[in-house]
Amino acid sequence: MRVVRTVAELRAATKELLAGAAGSAGSSGPTGSAGSIGIVPTMGALHEGHLSLVRAARADNAVVVVSIFVNPTQFNEPADLDAYPRNEERDTRLAADAGADIVFAPSAAEMYPEGFATTVSVTGSITETLEGASRGASHFDGVATIVAKLLLAALADNAYFGAKDAQQVVVVKRMVADLGIPARVVVCPTSRDADGLARSSRNVRLSAADRSRALAIPRALTEVAAAVGAGEFDPQRLRALATEILAAEQIEAEYLAFVDPESLVPVTSTHQPTLFALAARVGEVRLIDNIELRDGAESA
């Protein structure tokens, strides 16, 4: 596996690896992957959730790229950007073990060179609600801009994201469709620890006590899903149920939203396909999670 730091190096490396894959077609490598490039965009601090995406990309593609770039335009506070964990040596080792061929670890100057003046902005309900309402629409401007740049830098055929960041997935899909970027957005199931907590780089900041309290979050999701399965379709009553479960662990939600999975517009009944998304602080750590409800069936 190799580490590259410029777009030119990335494209040269993928070209070389694709040529090698074409020369050995039929002898090894994933079935049906000839000529395809898969990318897993990350900000580093890799955990099993990221690695599950790398393995999925490995199964589908001839060449797998993992980007590691702490994107400054996604942070509202400079202190949060400075505090974001960085350990490239560890991340590179984990990416290689999971099957990555290339780690693309550019500098901020490489991604945003002097004179950079372009922003990709996705507007409407999909960026104004949930995380957009909490963190500001500019957060998703940062997401859309950097993902567009990464897809074009790698000339990727497939891009892999986790379902935990459901709103980000919706935004990226819209951006890819609107700009005609020839990449398929592949959404993989939320990766969870054995106790049900969604894996996140932020989890390491939870104290033991707060980690135990945080389990109320996946419990709220599953109990709401069970209530829908039993015939409860009123978002207000479902929200009250989730609020009660969280309150038992002294957790107050930032939002508990029942929305259409595609438009993110609030629904009046969960009898239709519904995304139940929540955000809450446990101690000093802000966590998000979601579950998709479809006619009483759940998908998290």
* 96-115: pLDDT as tens digits: 999 999 999 999 999 999 99
Q: Picking from 23-27, 53-57, 250-254, which range would have the lowest pLDDT averaged per residue?
A: 23-27
Closest C-alpha to 101, from 139, 56, 151, 66: 66
Residues contributing to the annotated binding site: 43-50, 74, 162-165, 168, 199-202
Q: State the DSSP string of 227-245.
A: HHHTT---HHHHHHHHHHH
Other C-beta atoms lying within 10 Å of the C-beta of residue 31: 7
User: Which residues define the annotated binding site for ATP?
Assistant: 43-50, 162-165, 199-202
All structural domains of the chain with their residue ranges: 2-188, 201-292
> pTM of the predicted model, to two decimals?
0.93
pLDDT for residue 30 is more than 50: no
The single-letter code of the amino acid at 104 is F
The one catalytic residue among 7, 36, 50, 141: 50
Residue 136 has pLDDT above 80, yes or no: yes
As a whole number of angstroms, the distance between CA 225 and CA 295 comes to 10
Nearest to 62 by CA among 26, 12, 9, 8: 26
Helix, coil or strand: residue 81: helix
Exposure of 257 in the CB half-sphere (CA atoms within 13 A): 26
Average pLDDT over residues 197-202: 94
Both tokens of 281, joined, read: 């602080």
Residue 187: which of 34, 37, 40 has the closest Cα? 40
Residue numbers in the known binding site for beta-alanine are: 74
The architecture CATH gives domain 201-292: 2-Layer Sandwich (3.30)
pLDDT in tens, 216-225: 999 999 999 9
The torsion angle over the Cα atoms of residues 67, 39, 73 and 279, rounded to 10 degrees, is -110
pLDDT number for residue 27: 42
What distance in Å separates the CA atoms of residue 199 and residue 216, rounded to the nearest whole number? Answer: 15
**CATH architecture entry for 2-188:** 3-Layer(aba) Sandwich (3.40)
Element (H, E) at 88: helix 88-98
> Is 139 part of the annotated catalytic residue set?
no
